[in-house]
A and B are shown apart, each in its own frame.
Chain A
Amino acid sequence: MADELPTDPPGVWHLIQRADELTKYAQNRDPRTAYAQAREHLQRAISAADGLEDRGAGENLAEQARVRMDDLDRLEEGLG
């Protein structure tokens, strides 16, 4: 069963932060796998952010996650 989505901004930020760590340490392992795992965290962060009561925080966090999705696109392109 998938973990439940966080329901507060710190929980969403934690997902984004986990994605950052997977991205930063990707060069120590298979980067494609690391990037895919980072994407999963970011997708969950976007879903969770959309459900936050605090809409301002939700939009900011979703935007942070989307910026990182774009970063991952560029990083994956660089892998050839």
Chain B
Amino acid sequence: MELLKKSSEDEKRRTPPGQRLTRGWPVLHAEPVPKFDPEVWTFSVAGEVENPMIWSWDEFRALPSVTLDSDIHCVTGWSKLDNTWEGVHYRTIAEIVQPKPTATHVVSRAPSGYTANLPIEAMDDDDVLFAWSHDGEPLEPKHGGPLRLVVPQRYFWKSTKWVIALEFTPKDRRGFWEVRGYHNDAHPFREERYSWQEGR
């Protein structure tokens, strides 16, 4: 009984305002699922970096990997706790490409042209990774497989599905949803959902 109570308190603490918990994992995206061919897939990093890079699928999978647990918070109002991700830590990528001092922001991109922007400090959080696995299984295409950026401290639209590129930029450049009226910072625990809340 005490354990149940503790578990419930823990869930409450980890659930941001305005969110409801779900055990399932709703599927949502504005574009069709892109086809994945490991022979032609690439992941590129460019912009304000000392060493621009392009990895093939095999090369990317050969990078040192990590397994991290985190929660998901979707701006449409659901949260899913206790997700286990496996992939490459952002810091591993950063160590290789060496962002220049002029780099202040990062824009992630999907094949459709979908983008999401973040300040470089947000990418440097302990739990940010490029994930190919969720809860021990390959990340399903409908959830962003083969590779998804995972930024747990922000609403989940910032975690670009099917990510194929990262650009370090010298100034902020709003992404797909950010230019469509959604919050530039997107902190779930501050309930930063919409752009009209910015600067409050």
Contact = CB atoms under 8 A, between A and B. Distances in A.
Interface of A: 13, 16, 20-21, 23-28, 64, 67-68, 71, 75, 78
Interface in B11-32: 26-32
A16 B28 contact: no
Given A21-B76, A27-B142, A28-B27, A16 B181 contact: yes
Contacts of A71: 30
B190 interface: no
Contacts of B27: 25, 27-28
Contacts of B32: 27, 75, 78
Nearest to B182: A20
Contact of B31 (A21, A68, A78): A78
B90 interface: no
A71 B33 CA distance: 16
Most buried by A among B27, B31, B181, B194: B181
A64 B28 contact: no
Chain A interface SS verdict (over half): helix
A25 B28 contact: yes
Contacts of A21: 76
A27 B29 contact: yes
Contacts of B142: 27
A27 B28 contact: yes
Nearest to B176: A71
Nearest to A9: B196
A24 B194 contact: no
Contacts of A27: 27-29, 32-33, 142
15 contacts: A13-B181, A20-B180, A24-B28, A24-B76, A25-B26, A25-B28, A27-B27, A27-B28, A27-B29, A27-B32, A27-B33, A64-B181, A68-B180, A71-B30, A75-B30
B69 to A, nearest CB: 26
Interface in B93-116: none
Contacts of B181: 13, 16, 64
Contacts of B33: 27
Interface in B32-56: 32-33
A16 B194 CA distance: 12
Interface string B97-137: 00000000000000000000000000000000000000000
Contacts of B76: 21, 24
Given A21-B76, A27-B142, A64-B181, A13 B30 contact: no
Contact of B194 (A13, A25, A26, A68): A13
A24 B30 contact: yes
